[in-house]
Amino acid sequence: MPTLNWKGKLLSPPTPATLTLDSLLFPKGRGYPKARPDGRVIFGDNFAVMAALLPEYEGRIKLIYADPPFFTNRKFQARVGRGEDSRKPSKWKMAEGYHDDWADLDAYLQFLYERLTLMHRLLAADGTLYLHLDWHANSYARLILDEVFGAENFINEIVWTYHGPSPIRTAFNRKHDTILMYSKSKDYVFNVDDIREPYNPNTLATFKASRKAGFGKIPDLERGKVPEDWWYFPVVARLHNERTGYPTQKPEALLERIILASSNKGDLVADFFCGSGTTALAAAKHGRKFITCDEAVRAIHTARARLAGTKSVFTVERDVRMKTEVASKSKKIKVKAGDGLVTLQTSLDVDFWEIDPDWNGKTFRSAAQAQRHVRSGVIPMELKIKIGGKVCIRLVTVEGKQFQLNV
Ligand SMILES: C[S@@+](CC[C@H](N)C(=O)[O-])C[C@H]1O[C@@H](n2cnc3c(N)ncnc32)[C@H](O)[C@@H]1O
């Protein structure tokens, strides 16, 4: 079997992260139900985080979706603030997103190799990996996956097609990504009936017109067809409600198909390149448990805010080596609490705020949250909540500044 080699190819044992609990989030102001968390959002480098998860999760994760940097050698920024007019890029408000720049291809391949090896260990025997890349590196990744998973465990090369503007005038517009799908064994979960889609109206008309269409085989037209390995889903564009402003956000519909196909309700789904949190969100909406991780603070913030809109109780954790600045005072922020209502007054552009109505001074238990609507820019400044003892609020501005204030 041919294998891919590069300068510095090595599997060195990872140093596990030391994870600490940052907060527990109970969505939709339901107080603190005595539920065990369904999900974990972890701030840290995924190499160290996956290593820290091994003792508990080795061989237990049913599905891993990985959407790493693509080796574009670019720095991606997040678009923040109120509404963006696509015709006036100079007016966009930007903030740090994530970096996809590398010393060289060797460094990138080594980065992928050591992480894919840990993902393979974390996957359950009937688990599946989806690795999302594009033309920059997918040909190398295919060989790495053959080595780590075994070429016999290759299942699909899925092509995700989309439209969009492009400056290219010397080649065809590059408008597809490649998702490589590998299982850990021959016995893997694939829920074919959960991902069927309606037949094309032309196909339906052909079968209606002639019983002999389809070489005499009449498919179950009502049941729908198994999708091909090329998918069309629109990219998350400016006017889409799901848009967060986080760079290279993937469509929820794409993750839904993957989750429905390759996991069952109650299964554990992981995404160690969380970004805006699309996988965790789709997992939560479909009754799956989730673990997601990112090393960019904006990604963690974006994912947490999105997940606050689901029913899932989840933890936010971090590797102790990841430091974030959290201010505990600001003249620009005033908070009033009483009579089951917490009111925020501030001149800051707030993106997200949350309340612990019975602050124990240790773990922030977020029992009510408000977030800015991306398109309208509106965020509720009052939240109803039963106040138990001391009230503590946390707040994140659109620029990414964080505050934690005792009321
Ligand atoms: C292509 S984006 C993921 C987008 C995501 N699928 C979504 O729908 O928003 C890649 C993400 O991987 C993160 N990342 C890159 N290297 C990482 C590392 N070593 N550990 C954790 N996260 C990393 C980046 O910060 C970025 O948010």
Domains of the chain by start residue, with CATH: 19-194+233-319 (3.40.50.150), 326-406 (2.60.40)
What span, in angstroms and rounded, lies between the C-alpha atoms of 19 and 44? 9
Please give the residue that has the higher pLDDT: either 209 or 349: 349
Q: Are 353 and 392 in contact (CB under 8 A)?
A: no
Q: What is the DSSP string of 78-99?
A: EEESS---TT-GGG-EEEEEEE
Residue 327 in this model has a pLDDT that exceeds 70: yes
- For Cα atoms 110, 103, 276, give the angle at the middle one, nearest 5 degrees: 70
Structure tokens at 186: 């021959």
Provide the 10 A C-beta neighbour count for residue 233.
16
What span, in angstroms and rounded, lies between the C-alpha atoms of 345 and 119? 45
What span, in angstroms and rounded, lies between the C-alpha atoms of 275 and 234? 18
**In this predicted structure, what is the pLDDT of residue 300?**
96
Residue 391 in this model has a pLDDT that exceeds 70: yes
Q: Which residue type occupies 182?
A: Y
Percent of the chain with pLDDT over 90: 74
Residue 252 Cβ inside 6 Å of ligand 1? The answer reads: no
- Running DSSP on this structure, what letter comes out for residue 241? T
Residue 296 Cβ inside 6 Å of ligand 1? The answer reads: yes
Residue 278 Cβ inside 6 Å of ligand 1? The answer reads: yes
Chain center to CA of 195: 20
Lowest mean pLDDT among 114-123, 317-326, 374-383: 374-383
**In this predicted structure, what is the pLDDT of residue 51?**
98
**In this predicted structure, what is the pLDDT of residue 191?**
98
Q: How confident is the model at residue 78 (pLDDT cuts 50, 70, 90)?
A: confident
Residue whose Cα lies nearest atom 2 of ligand 1: it is 275
Q: How confident is the model at residue 328 (pLDDT cuts 50, 70, 90)?
A: very high
Q: How confident is the model at residue 230 (pLDDT cuts 50, 70, 90)?
A: very high
Residues 6+ apart with CB under 8 A from 20: 317, 318, 319, 320
Average pLDDT estimate for 387-404: 93
Residue 45 Cβ inside 6 Å of ligand 1? The answer reads: yes
Q: Are 189 and 128 in contact (CB under 8 A)?
A: yes
Average pLDDT estimate for 365-378: 88
Please give the residue that has the higher pLDDT: either 185 or 81: 185
Chain center to CA of 153: 25
**In this predicted structure, what is the pLDDT of residue 222?**
85
Structure tokens at 402: 């964080």
pLDDT in tens, 147-177: 999 999 999 999 999 998 888 899 999 999 9
Residue 374 in this model has a pLDDT that exceeds 90: no
Q: Are 249 and 276 in contact (CB under 8 A)?
A: yes
Q: In what order do the strands lie in the sheet with 368-371?
A: 326-327, 402-406, 392-397, 350-356, 368-371
Q: Are 108 and 102 in contact (CB under 8 A)?
A: yes
Residues 6+ apart with CB under 8 A from 131: 66, 68, 116, 141, 145, 179, 180, 181, 182
**In this predicted structure, what is the pLDDT of residue 231?**
97
Average pLDDT estimate for 177-195: 98
pLDDT in tens, 28-73: 665 566 667 999 999 999 999 999 999 999 999 999 999 999 999 9
**In this predicted structure, what is the pLDDT of residue 219?**
75
What span, in angstroms and rounded, lies between the C-alpha atoms of 120 and 82? 41
What span, in angstroms and rounded, lies between the C-alpha atoms of 51 and 151? 25
**In this predicted structure, what is the pLDDT of residue 406?**
93
**In this predicted structure, what is the pLDDT of residue 29?**
60
Q: List, in sequence order, the alpha helices (H) in 58-212.
A: 105-122, 138-149, 201-209
Residue 86 in this model has a pLDDT that exceeds 70: no
**In this predicted structure, what is the pLDDT of residue 215?**
66
CA distances from 289 to 33, 35, 184, 378 (A): 17, 13, 20, 31
Please give the span between the terminal C-alpha atoms of the chain, in angstroms, as a whole number: 64
Task: State the closest ligand 1 atom to the C-alpha of 98, by its place in the atom list counted from 1.
Answer: 25
Residue 89 in this model has a pLDDT that exceeds 90: no
Residue 249 Cβ inside 6 Å of ligand 1? The answer reads: yes
Q: How confident is the model at residue 128 (pLDDT cuts 50, 70, 90)?
A: very high
Average pLDDT estimate for 87-115: 86
Residue 114 Cβ inside 6 Å of ligand 1? The answer reads: no
Please give the residue that has the higher pLDDT: either 398 or 253: 253
Residue whose Cα lies nearest atom 21 of ligand 1: it is 294
Residue 83 in this model has a pLDDT that exceeds 60: no
Q: Are 263 and 270 in contact (CB under 8 A)?
A: no
Query: Which is it for strands 268-271 and 289-294: parallel, antiparallel or unpaired?
Result: parallel
Question: Ligand 1 centroid vs 168 CA: distance in angstroms?
Answer: 26
What span, in angstroms and rounded, lies between the C-alpha atoms of 99 and 72? 9
Structure tokens at 193: 């009936």
Q: Which of 295, 302, 321 to mutate to test the pocket of ligand 1 (most atoms within 8 A of CB)?
A: 295
